[in-house]
Structure 1
Amino acid sequence: MAGAAMGGAELFFERLCIAQAGDGLDVLPVIRRNAGRAARLRAGGVEAHELAFGGRADLATGLRLRRLLKRFRPRVVVAWMNRAARLAPRGDWVLAGRLGGFYDLSYYRRCDHLIGNTRGIVRWLVEQGWPAARAHYLPNFAVDIHGAAPRRPACLPPGVPFVLALGRLHRNKAFDVLIRAMVHVRGAHLVIAGEGPERPALERLARDLGVADRVHLPGWFDGTAGIVSACDLLVCPSRHEPLGNVIIEAFSAVRPVVAAAAQGPVELITDGGNGLLAPIEDDRALADAISAVLADPALAARLGQAGRDAFDRHYAQAPVLASWRRFLADVEKV
């Protein structure tokens, strides 16, 4: 895995490696150099190998990766997203590429199988001409944070209800739409936990709209279990969201969820069942959904419990690990 220092796909890679090792698999994580990631894997009982995973001029990583794999003698190699797939060699193993979005498939031309973490990605792979028998749906699991001690952010005044959003401050996340929605949400504060290039624009927008006193951008938190457990409502307003790990995390914490109807949230949420959906880019509809949940404790409780039920059935560690075990056994037989 050669992804970024932080991100949902990268953090799930760490969780999956640790969980699979705990489940009895012999796992060898090979990662882009990252001391923090290596330390977290080590703390979970898995020793990672760190390589450069540089650009196209980086010839050394491919050679070193091949040597590592030949020494380890895996039955299945999983290339986690584009750069890893470009550098992963063929060999005496099954090579599977794992996609968390609608990526350029030229990176995956060496792969025997492809994995999508949503059914929408798997359908798209087949539409692109990838054989259906070699396209597999394997969802993410989230850490079960139900029961975590609530931890309100220090930036909030005492007692006020607060809406939480989590993620990199990037245009795809549509935090600007959420800030616009807060103009129409009375009495509540918004915490956007994350960092990224959109921070100056988001801060300026909050000031221009007169909601800067109720919109807080405290940066990344060291662990999100407490803040998710403390929030009155989690919102995922993304323009583009292939999955939505934060939604699954909120499900586990029995917190109600409102989301824009991007690809991933539409798969995770049944509107009015285990969450509420609003049209993408529609700040007024998003505000109405947020206000409806904040104004109705019974609705909030019902949505939160339905989300937890979905988590237990589909997105907890046990069912996802079972899906991975079946996948690994099946592709070895081919």
Structure 2
Amino acid sequence: MRLLQALFFPPEQPGGVSSMIPHLQEKFSSARWEMEVFSLPKRIRGKGREDIVFETFDWTQYADRPIVQKYMQTYRDYLWWTRLRLQKPYDLIHAHHPIAALAMKTAFPDTPVLQTIHSSYERELILNGKIEEGSPEHRFLLSIYRELEARTDRLITVSEAFRRYMAPHIEHADRIRIMPNGYDERRFKPVPHENELPQLMTVCRLVPAKGLDVLLQACALLKERDCPYVLHVIGDGPSREELERLAQDLGVYDNTIFYGYTLHPEEFMPFFDIFVLPSRAEAFGSVFAEAALCCLALVGTSVGGVPEQIEHGVNGLLVPPDDPAALADALEQVIGDPAYRYELARTACEKAKSHYSLDRAAIELKRMYLSYEGRGSRSL
């Protein structure tokens, strides 16, 4: 069976998709399977000129909005690159971004296209202050879900919480399949260690949606309570300078290390003690599973798919979003009780191995792919 995994970002970019798709190829390396990975290079900008028509709504009513213009031009660029680079037929295409799915279905109309929706672009834009809820840009992006439902052969998402989020914007939410990402355990190796000071760490893009301002405020409370810690912030983004200034203003800059972007944080993640990410929204939160596989204690917020990974008090701690005091209390609890911290980490690691293994994901995907075998044409 000839498969195409259609990504948006190149596979070396951070995120849940990159945690799984490049590593799947080994699981599909047999005479029965042939898998390729495709994405849009960053250098491709402004190449596409094709007129775009959606089946379920008229996108041109939003055409004067810069964000919509950028989205549609990216769609045209992806379609242009697809037609230029992909000349051979496929039995099935699995897309991991709405633009990828719509472009692939346009280029390969007779080939089954499955779409996994990993996150909410419109929610991120709202939380990051780029658009307002209910704005034309918001309505445009929400309309894309119905277009995906109409055009693709199957919608998949990574958590029950995100299925519920999508439900008002499509016709048949009950048909969405839930399939969390899988992670190759060989990339995440717990390392026995004993740090003199508890080491907190977070890995994310530095944007308001991730709530790192709340984390720094919680760290300031820890400092007031004489609760020892070091915070490691791994990642980059538009909020970095603002967060560094906030750390200085709060008096926690000397306790905080900003690393910037790191390609393989899993290589040194096991040497820390506690993973914390106070997100304001998460479709799933892949980095929690990655931290669990490194045997770190988990502290997160009760948003999106995070509570589907973390059972409060069993394999981690959950706090409300935008609550620095509650976050500080949770961190103080795991900082001050190493035995409890280890028990949470051990339980989280066991759950991640059983629920989010790459082998589990590969088996589920193979079954799903085979159910479409012979349904499409292998011609452009």
- Shared fold per TM-score greater than 0.5: yes
The reply on whether 1:65 has 2:82 as its aligned counterpart is: yes
Report what 1:147 is aligned to: 189
Report what 1:163 is aligned to: 200
CA shift in 2, pair 1:258/1:136, >3 Å = same
Of 14-23 and 312-321, the range deviating more from structure 2: 14-23
Report what 2:8 is aligned to: 2
Kindly state the Cα deviation for residue 21 of structure 1 after the two structures are TM-superposed.
3.3
Kindly state the Cα deviation for residue 60 of structure 1 after the two structures are TM-superposed.
6.6
Of 123-132 and 239-248, the range deviating more from structure 2: 123-132
In the aligned structure 2, how far is the partner of 1:222 from the partner of 1:7?
7
Kindly state the Cα deviation for residue 120 of structure 1 after the two structures are TM-superposed.
1.8
In the aligned structure 2, how far is the partner of 1:53 from the partner of 1:292?
54
After superposition, the C-alpha distances for 1:256-305 in whole angstroms (9 at most, x for unaligned) are 10101111211111111111001101111111111111111221111111
Q: If the length of structure 2 is used for normalisation, what is the TM-score?
A: 0.74
> Given that residues 98 and 116 in structure 1 are in contact (C-alpha distance below 8 angstroms), is that contact kept between their aligned partners in structure 2?
yes
Report what 1:182 is aligned to: 219
Q: Secondary structure at the match of 2:260?
A: coil
In the aligned structure 2, how far is the partner of 1:9 from the partner of 1:255?
18
Report what 1:99 is aligned to: 117
Kindly state the Cα deviation for residue 81 of structure 1 after the two structures are TM-superposed.
1.0
After superposition, the C-alpha distances for 1:193-239 in whole angstroms (9 at most, x for unaligned) are 11111111111111111111101112123421233101110001111
In the aligned structure 2, how far is the partner of 1:57 from the partner of 1:224?
33
Letter of the 2:103 partner, please give it.
L
> Given that residues 275 and 296 in structure 2 are in contact (C-alpha distance below 8 angstroms), is that contact kept between their aligned partners in structure 1?
yes
In the aligned structure 2, how far is the partner of 1:148 from the partner of 1:297?
16
Q: Secondary structure at the match of 1:213?
A: helix
Letter of the 2:271 partner, please give it.
A
Of 226-235 and 119-128, the range deviating more from structure 2: 119-128
The reply on whether 1:280 has 2:289 as its aligned counterpart is: no
Letter of the 1:62 partner, please give it.
L
Kindly state the Cα deviation for residue 12 of structure 1 after the two structures are TM-superposed.
3.0
Which 5+ residue runs of structure 2 have no aligned equivalent?
Answer: 1-6, 49-69, 122-141, 376-380
CA shift in 2, pair 1:184/1:19, >3 Å = farther
Kindly state the Cα deviation for residue 143 of structure 1 after the two structures are TM-superposed.
3.4
The structure whose Rg is larger is 2
The reply on whether 1:124 has 2:165 as its aligned counterpart is: yes
Q: If the length of structure 1 is used for normalisation, what is the TM-score?
A: 0.84
CA shift in 2, pair 1:17/1:259, >3 Å = same
In the aligned structure 1, how far is the partner of 2:296 from the partner of 2:268?
11
Q: Secondary structure at the match of 1:235?
A: strand
Q: Secondary structure at the match of 2:113?
A: strand
> Given that residues 51 and 61 in structure 1 are in contact (C-alpha distance below 8 angstroms), is that contact kept between their aligned partners in structure 2?
no
Report what 1:41 is aligned to: none
Higher RCO (CA < 8 A, seq sep 6+): 2
Kindly state the Cα deviation for residue 68 of structure 1 after the two structures are TM-superposed.
5.6
In the aligned structure 1, how far is the partner of 2:337 from the partner of 2:45?
51
After superposition, the C-alpha distances for 1:79-98 in whole angstroms (9 at most, x for unaligned) are 21122123122423211111
Q: Secondary structure at the match of 1:78?
A: strand
> Given that residues 116 and 138 in structure 1 are in contact (C-alpha distance below 8 angstroms), is that contact kept between their aligned partners in structure 2?
yes
The reply on whether 1:220 has 2:261 as its aligned counterpart is: yes
Report what 2:41 is aligned to: 33
Letter of the 1:6 partner, please give it.
Q
Matched-pair identity in %: 25
Superposition pairs for residues 295-334 of structure 1, below 5 Å? Answer: 295-332=336-373
